Amino acid sequence: MGNSKIKVVVIGCGGISRAWLIPALKEKDIEIAGLVDIRRNAAEEKANEFKLKNVFIGTEYREAIKKIKPDAIFNCTTPEAHYETTMFALKYGCHVLVEKPLADSMKRAKEMVEEAEKRSKILAVIQNRRYYNYIRGVQKFLSAKKIGNLTTVNSEFYIGAHFGGFRDQMEHVLLVDMAIHTFDMARFLTGSDPVSVYCHEWNPHGSWYTHGASAHAIFEMTGGIVYTYLGSWCSEGINTTWAGNWRFIGEKGSAIWNGMEKFEAQKVTGRTGFIRKTRQLKISFPERKENSEGHYGLIREFIHCIKTGNKPMTMASDNIKSLAMVFGAIESARLKKQVKIKWE
């Protein structure tokens, strides 16, 4: 690919597409060649907002891909459209970066991963939290075993989010559309993979969603780690950050984190006494650089990987394990029992 620009078609020009177009238009290696949305006015609005002249605007992604022959697709469609749009793009020889969640079922996700592998194309997922410096700092701290091997991890996500749109009617809205971020963070932060889950999912009284705005799930992870998730998308007041509140317990100490800059860790130093003495540990977060976190970092890495043949951190072949946590939790809630988590 050398110095040539990567030609990109954006499919789905709704709410999140701004978070893609802002960084993409700052990248010298990207040419936005087309904007597609089944709602033509959504594609036109984005073209106007970002002053994109001479780009293809349309409602049919198949037509756009055949006509433009892009190197890559930025897939910002709603979850149920990820499968058909991604499969078509892969078959036409495009690399695909798709919004989370990878797919709306495990069967579809597996087919997408297989298709990408068959065509030797990159299929990666916007799991943007992995590209935030605070999260990277905590991951580095934990992987250095400063509080020893992890045994127990808890996270809490409480945000009263009034989106309107597709989420209001979506089944398992918290687990499918949001918990995927937190579950993927749990894998990233602990360096472990899911083994089994017990989940209780419900829609609390007063919820403005149709289905599943709250869930509690207990995961067994590899390495004997137990990870507990508590979440709600309809809890008004005292919201957590989007990354959530976390507690990490290791064999030699504990840490708490608010998902942003507030982090506290204590390592045990005493050898006697009812409660052993501890000392405070410091964390150093990587320097925050402008235009480098979240979608910026991921989009840049995706383009770099197309050019160099490397693989991004959020390859679908790995991200499918985070998706398996979502569908495992849904299955457990349905059966009202603990289930094994599988992705192969």
Ligand X SMILES: NC(=O)c1ccc[n+]([C@@H]2O[C@H](COP(=O)([O-])OP(=O)(O)OC[C@H]3O[C@@H](n4cnc5c(N)ncnc54)[C@H](O)[C@@H]3O)[C@@H](O)[C@H]2O)c1
Element (H, E) at 41: helix 40-49
- For position 76 contacting ligand X by CB under 6 A, the verdict is yes
Cβ 240 to ligand X shortest distance, Å:
15
CA torsion angle 306 307 310 312 (round to 10)? -50
Residue closer to ligand X, measured from CB, 109 or 265: 109
- For position 22 contacting ligand X by CB under 6 A, the verdict is no
Cβ 9 to ligand X shortest distance, Å:
10
Q: Looking at 26, 41, 48, 165, which residue binds ligand X (CB under 6 A)?
A: 165
Q: Looking at 35, 103, 121, 128, which residue binds ligand X (CB under 6 A)?
A: 128
Residue closer to ligand X, measured from CB, 89 or 218: 89
Token pair 């409660």 is at which residue? 275
Q: Looking at 9, 12, 213, 322, which residue binds ligand X (CB under 6 A)?
A: 12
Please give the Cα distance from 54 to 38 (Å, whole number): 19
Contact at 8 Å (CB) between 227 and 153? Answer: yes
- For position 297 contacting ligand X by CB under 6 A, the verdict is no
Please give the Cα distance from 104 to 43 (Å, whole number): 24
Q: Looking at 6, 10, 27, 85, which residue binds ligand X (CB under 6 A)?
A: 85
- For position 36 contacting ligand X by CB under 6 A, the verdict is yes
Q: What strands lie across the sheet with 123-126, from one edge to the other?
A: 56-58, 30-36, 6-11, 72-75, 95-99, 123-126
- C-alpha closest to that of 9 among 83, 49, 77, 69: 69
Residue closer to ligand X, measured from CB, 77 or 192: 77
DSSP characters over 136-175? HHHHHHHHTTTT-SEEEEEEEEE------GGGGG-TTHII
Which x/- pattern, by CB under 6 A, does the window 56-75 give for ligand X?
Answer: -----x--------------
- For position 166 contacting ligand X by CB under 6 A, the verdict is yes
Q: Looking at 6, 13, 217, 320, which residue binds ligand X (CB under 6 A)?
A: 13
Residue closer to ligand X, measured from CB, 77 or 332: 77
- C-alpha closest to that of 326 among 16, 78, 79, 19: 79
Binding residues for ligand X (CB under 6 A): 11-16, 36-39, 42, 61, 76-79, 81, 85, 99-100, 126, 128, 165-166, 177
